Structure 1
Amino acid sequence: MLTGLSIRNVVLIEALDLAFPRGLGVLTGETGAGKSILLDSLGLILGDRADSGLVRAGEDQANVTATFEFSELPEPIRAALAEAEVDVEPGEPLIVRRRVRADGGSKAFVNDQPVGVALLREMARSLVELHGQHDDRGLVNARGHRALLDRYARADTAGVAAAWDKWREAETALAQAKAHVEQAAAEQDLLLAHLAELTTLEPVEGEEEELASTRADMQKGERLSGDLAELQHLWSGSDSALASLRGAARRLDRIAHEHPLLAEALAAIDRAVIEAGEAEDKLVAAADVLAHDPALLDRIETRLFDLRAAARKHHCTVDELPEKMRLMREALDAIEGGGAQIAALQRAAQEAGLDYRAKAEALSVVRAEAARRLDQAVAAELAPLKLDAAKFHTAVIRLPEDRWSGQGVDAVEFLISTNPGADFAPLAKIASGGELSRFILALKVALAEEGGAATIIFDEIDRGVGGAVASAIGERLARLAAGGQLLAVTHSPQVAARGNAHYLIAKSSEGTVTRTSVTLLDAAGRQEEIARMLSGAEITAEARAQADRLLEQA
């Protein structure tokens, strides 16, 4: 609930700090005293548009801070804070601050962490519910009527939402499978032709690199063929250097025993013969590797051309061609087996659809019964609020299938008829300002046990009524406030007398400076203010006595 409101430099309010208890708090004061400034300040906390006109004249900025305390943070607020990555410790108050500059810029903070104004708007529904003379939100907005009726009915909407999600997923999977098979079928002839080409080509991963290396070696061999031939001639034959070395080794072998130096010379020549023999082997091997075969080179270049042309055609590398073949085979297999897969997905989608319809139909029955009970509950509240000629109806309307959703197959709207025989129509289109506020109060009383915002504010709900009707309004406001917190801006002494806390809004002037103040009244102050509300400018003893009676009756 709202436990504190601090306002700095907002229009006529220079500095104001208010504490609000549980129960019914009433705010009174003469017309023009500044009650709307309080509501505009609170509107900033709830994400309303920042208006530079709210900044007090001569000041650079205005600041509003609201403190909310909960035994447990409501789930919608907790989810919104988590999505915005704002940390709030369990049991910690929620402190929302809004700063508006004179140039129109604004900043918002939650527990001193900067946030976007959109987060304030998202949390507002669970923080404060505001009903005024020209309210176009809350109970007047038909978009929220279905959720209100579901809460009143304590309906299991989660099961319907889960069934809807499962049905949508099944339908999506079916549509994707159909599209895939249709696309593959349309390309079947082309796939077969491409696969036949690649099957004939038989690409092998790594083949391009191997062929390119062999081609490069053969091209080198063509360039080096003369040198290799000359080297082979120098290295082979009876008059070659190697043959001479071998002859020298044989002759030294016969006389090496005659002197150690001759033996060492023989050993050196033996080593030279071995090294020369290895060199000869390398030359022979190099000649084989670098052998220039024009026919083979032509075949290699043709193969490389075909492989690279195929890679360009299929927008891949040569090494990726085998994978392309595998994917083509899978696509063709999918065409052949697609019918069975689609049949299975169709069965799954049909079953999910039937499950959703069953759950949604059951929810519709629950809604219809709850609508009947709600109509009766609201009807019981209308006569005491001087709306006895009016009728209330909760319309549960079956939607066309293309508008079904996770919330079911129904639209819900609260309708009224203010005169006998008149057609039912939406609240905002039929009711006058005073009637609309009283209808909202009747609805809130009927829906009181079904949750909602932590704090409810009624702005001048009693305008244009008095006597017994004002008493009935006060009694219902007090009943609503018994389970939480309700603030009422009122001109009615009967409503003011019901308050657990009474705040007086007053405007004062000193020269050219005008200020609005808000004071929490004690018992004597309450009596005096209610007496003023009863008698006007001159407070009489009779007015004070009547004020006492109202306070005693409350």
Structure 2
Amino acid sequence: MLASLSIKNFALIEQLEINFSDQFSIITGETGAGKSILLGALGLVLGKRADLTSLKDKEQKCIIEAQFQISKYNLQDFFATNDLDYEEITIIRREILPSGKSRAFVNDSPVNLTELQDLSEYLLDIHSQHQTQELSSEAYQIQIIDAIANNQPLLLNYKQNLAQYKSAKNELKKLHAEKEALSKEQDYNSFLLEELLLANLKTGEQEELESVSEKLNNVEFIKESLDKSLALANDEQLGIIQNLKEVKLSLQKISGLSSEFQDFFERVSSTLIEFEDVFIELSQQAEKLVNDPEKLELVNQKLQTIYSLQKKHQVESVADLLVIQTNLDNKLVLVDDLENKILKIENTLNESILILDKIASQISQNRSKAIPVLVTQINEILVQLGMPNARFQFEISNTKNYLPLGKDEVQLLFSANKGTDFGLLKKVASGGEMSRIMLAVKAILANYSKLPTIIFDEIDTGVSGEIAHKMGDIMKRMSSKMQVFAITHLPQIAAKGNQHYKVFKSSEGENTISELKLLSQDERVIEIAEMLSGKDISDSALNHAKALLN
């Protein structure tokens, strides 16, 4: 329940602190006195957006703080889920800074507006004339039926599965788009990959083939150079090997005379060994070197294949071509992977459909059972409210679509008088009838809801006299199950309250402020008498007011 409200620097309110009881509270006041300001302040606490126009003094911040007694309403899980400190007396504070920025706190922990709005759904329902019009909306009508049908657990399960279904459906759509894009390239990618695989490319192959090609293209020149080199090295008289052997022999004779000569001898010996190795290898090269036009043709063909592939793929090495080959292979494998993923998600969707259909069917069955109960209860209350011939009819039809609240579409049909045909509620009900129907709905929901507080903002629009009395009685009975506020212009309703608050304006120089005051019993008599007869209160109005209060 709303235990207290503190407002500072908001609209016409400089400073206001007020405590509330858990019973039936009345709020009255002249038009423009500030009743809408109170609702606006509560709206900010419940998560509505704010702006600088809300500040009375644009140089000071606005602070609105509401205390809620929530010990009876099992909200611990909500606080734990949102990582908030649970307190039996929970304090919600909203601050609007002169810069235009706003901040919100729950038990001194900062929260965003979405979290505040989510919490407010468990705390307070402000029923305005706008909400009376919501009675014509299909979504609101379904919510009323679901409250009677106790469909909340099923709806929670349905919404969770629906979210998973929509997520899987979006993922499936995304995968199909990816597959379509890849499939368009698949044939060409397959061709490119096959071309690269046929080339049988190997790392370092290009350099090796270019070297072989260079040799085969210069066989005669190489052979001539090798033969000349071998002849110079191995001539029996003037050959380099023979001369090195003689030098080695001469140095050997004197190598024992000094370390320097020994060093010269060893160096020449090493040179001779190295040169003889070179000679052997040159000889082997000369023996292997043959003019092989067929091999040259094959080498050049392979090189031409490599050069052509490099040009096509705009790269400069076989290594780059091998990377492209791997990527193409991966793309083709990805198509297969996508098909497997698509199949898996399609199976998931089919399972989700079975689950959703089962839950939606149970929701629909519960609604069908609840509708006669709801219609009977509404009619009983409307008889009390002067509508004995009112008739309701809910038409419920099942669709193939998964809607936010199941697969049902609902139309509420209404007839106010005998002999008149049923019509859509929004088209055939008057403003006064809509107010009474909404009050009947709220009174019924009070028996099924655990909502702590409801505020009726002029739900008595379009009614008067005995009907107003009955409306007041119904709200009074509702207050035995929840905290009820009624903002009213009707004295018949005002007299029903356990507490009566008056909103009024006062002036201090050129400054106008709104204030809220809890009326004493004598002040209530005067206020209700004034509501009956205006500013000039007659004895008759005073007596009438006392009678209403008694």
TM bucket normalised to smaller? 0.7 to 0.9
Aligned to 1:398, the other structure's residue is in SS state: strand
Please identify, of 261-270 and 215-224, the stretch whose mean Cα deviation from structure 2 is larger. 215-224
Q: Distance in 2 between matches of 1:279 and 1:24?
A: 118
Q: Distance in 1 between matches of 2:514 and 2:322?
A: 82
Q: Distance in 2 between matches of 1:280 and 1:89?
A: 92
Q: Does the 8 Å CA contact 2:251/2:265 hold for their aligned counterparts? A: no
> Aligned-pair RMSD on alpha carbons?
4.9
Q: Distance in 1 between matches of 2:504 and 2:335?
A: 83
Matched, 1:318 2:321: yes
User: Which residue number in structure 1 is paired with residue 408 of structure 2?
Assistant: 410
Matched, 1:146 2:142: yes
For residues 510-534 of structure 1, the C-alpha deviation after alignment (integer angstroms, 9 at most, x for no partner) is 4433322111234444444345445
1:65 to partner: Cα distance: 1.2
For residues 236-261 of structure 1, the C-alpha deviation after alignment (integer angstroms, 9 at most, x for no partner) is 335466644432333444565xxx42
User: Which residue number in structure 2 is paired with residue 211 of structure 1?
Assistant: 206
User: Which residue number in structure 1 is paired with residue 131 of structure 2?
Assistant: 135
Q: Distance in 1 between matches of 2:440 and 2:333?
A: 66
TM-score scaled to structure 2, two decimals? 0.76
Task: Tell me how many residue pairs correspond in the alignment.
Answer: 528
Q: Distance in 2 between matches of 1:526 and 1:235?
A: 135
User: Which residue number in structure 1 is paired with residue 479 of structure 2?
Assistant: 481
TM-score scaled to structure 1, two decimals? 0.75
Matched, 1:362 2:362: yes
Please identify, of 15-24 and 229-238, the stretch whose mean Cα deviation from structure 2 is larger. 229-238
1:548 to partner: Cα distance: 5.3
- For residue 518 of structure 2, the aligned residue among 517, 520, 531 is 520
Gaps of 5+ in 2: none
1:15 to partner: Cα distance: 2.3
For residues 435-459 of structure 1, the C-alpha deviation after alignment (integer angstroms, 9 at most, x for no partner) is 3222111001111133375432111
Q: Distance in 2 between matches of 1:163 and 1:114?
A: 31
Q: Which AA in structure 2 matches 1:277?
A: I
Gaps of 5+ in 1: none
Q: Which AA in structure 2 matches 1:237?
A: N
Q: Which AA in structure 1 matches 2:247?
A: A
Q: Which AA in structure 1 matches 2:502?
A: L
Q: Distance in 2 between matches of 1:292 and 1:445?
A: 110
CA 1:469–1:308: 2 relative to 1, 3 Å: same
1:503 to partner: Cα distance: 1.2
- For residue 92 of structure 2, the aligned residue among 91, 95, 99 is 95
Q: How does 1:344-359 map to 2 (within 5 A)?
A: 353-359=353-359
Q: Distance in 2 between matches of 1:68 and 1:230?
A: 109
Q: Distance in 2 between matches of 1:372 and 1:173?
A: 42
Q: Does the 8 Å CA contact 1:458/1:487 hold for their aligned counterparts? A: yes
CA 1:184–1:44: 2 relative to 1, 3 Å: closer
Q: Which AA in structure 1 matches 2:144?
A: L
For residues 27-76 of structure 1, the C-alpha deviation after alignment (integer angstroms, 9 at most, x for no partner) is 122344322222233334445565665544x7456725142533368599
CA 1:181–1:135: 2 relative to 1, 3 Å: closer
Q: Distance in 1 between matches of 2:147 and 2:279?
A: 95
User: Which residue number in structure 2 is paired with residue 270 of structure 1?
Assistant: 266
User: Which residue number in structure 2 is paired with residue 434 of structure 1?
Assistant: 432
Q: Distance in 1 between matches of 2:460 and 2:258?
A: 135
For residues 182-217 of structure 1, the C-alpha deviation after alignment (integer angstroms, 9 at most, x for no partner) is 88887776566445433422234xx2x442476479
Q: Does the 8 Å CA contact 2:124/2:452 hold for their aligned counterparts? A: yes
Q: How does 1:95-494 map to 2 (within 5 A)?
A: 95-99=92-96, 105=100, 107-111=102-106, 124-135=120-131, 139-155=135-151, 156-161=154-159, 164=162, 193-194=191-192, 196-204=194-202, 207=203, 209-212=204-207, 215=210, 236-238=233-235, 239=238, 243-253=242-252, 260-261=256-257, 265-266=261-262, 268-274=264-270, 277-278=273-274, 281=277, 295=296, 298-299=300-301, 301-309=303-311, 311=313, 317-324=320-327, 326-327=329-330, 330=333, 353-399=353-399, 401=400, 403-405=401-403, 407-451=405-449, 454-494=452-492
For residues 453-483 of structure 1, the C-alpha deviation after alignment (integer angstroms, 9 at most, x for no partner) is 5432111223454454333222221232333
1:381 to partner: Cα distance: 0.8
CA 1:216–1:27: 2 relative to 1, 3 Å: farther
